[in-house]
Amino acid sequence: MEEKVFRSPKKRGRVAVLLSGRGSNFRAIHDAMSEGRINAEIVLVFSNKADAPGLQMARERGLDTLHLDPKSFPDKESYDAAIVEELKKLKVDLVCLAGYMKIITPLFCQAYRNQIMNIHPALLPSFPGLHAQRQAVEYGVRYSGATVHFVWEEVDAGPIILQAVVPVYQDDTEETLAERILEQEHKIYPEAVRLYFEGRLEVRGRKVYILD
């Protein structure tokens, strides 16, 4: 079967950030845009949590925000359909999941194929799912890290865009490791978004090529 090739667009991008918590990755991406390091703007910060600190931060930064309560929808599909509708209205080019604690349904993934990124606090495919830093400490690995990847239907399994390696020390706790990983997250997530809108990410099969 012939492989479909996806190439990210070279343009001034319109980005939506989806978050559920403190929003430090959102902040790193927004700072990079404000400093002119990324050719894109954030057109929406969305949350499933009304009281997410990241949502408050977005308001303070003068960005448009939206909260939809999952409980007021009959099922996950209709919730995601409502989000997709908002994103389409805003002509969003790229969706950045930044600590968004909900699993994206296939409907959402298919509407934005190769247009959704996520950051995961481990070197995927190791330690997918929740508490990745705790999993790494408990397993006893010497290195862990962070991964930015495209979101496909299967959780934490889409094509890998960038990774950063972080050492794990013998006396590390989940918290100390998480802190060291987070520093790297704040570097590689904005970098991945930058590459995206420079038109330099090509997805072939499940591999991402970074073009010169």
Which residues are catalytic, by number? Answer: 120
Contact by Cβ (8 Å): 188, 208: no
Q: With binding defined as CB under 6 A, does residue 144 bind ligand GRF?
A: no
Tell the smallest beta-carbon distance from residue 183 to ligand GRF (Å): 11
For ligand GRF (CB under 6 A), the number of binding residues is 14
- Residue choice 7, 14, 22, 187 for contact with ligand GRF (CB under 6 A): 22
194 is a site residue for ligand GRF (CB under 6 A): no
Asked if 98 touches ligand GRF (CB under 6 A), the answer is: yes
Residue 145 interacts with ligand GRF (CB under 6 A): yes or no: no
- The residue sitting closest to ligand GRF, measured at its beta carbon, is 99
CB of 135 to ligand GRF, least distance (A): 13
CB of 3 to ligand GRF, least distance (A): 29
| Closer by beta carbon to ligand GRF, 129 or else 167 | 129
Closest to 142 measured CA to CA, from 175, 108, 165, 125: 165
Beta-bridged to residue 143, according to DSSP, are 167
Nearest to 99 by CA among 144, 52, 63, 133: 52
Residue 69 sits at φ, ψ, to 5 deg, of: -85, 115
User: Which helix H or strand E contains 6, and what residues bound it?
Assistant: strand 5-7
Distance CA 150, CA 161 (A): 7
Judged by CB under 6 A, the chain residues 110 through 139 that form the site for ligand GRF are: 119-121
**Contacts for 72 with CB less than 8 Å, ≥ 6 apart:** none
Instruction: List residues binding ligand GRF (CB under 6 A).
Output: 19, 21-25, 54, 98-99, 119-121, 182, 185
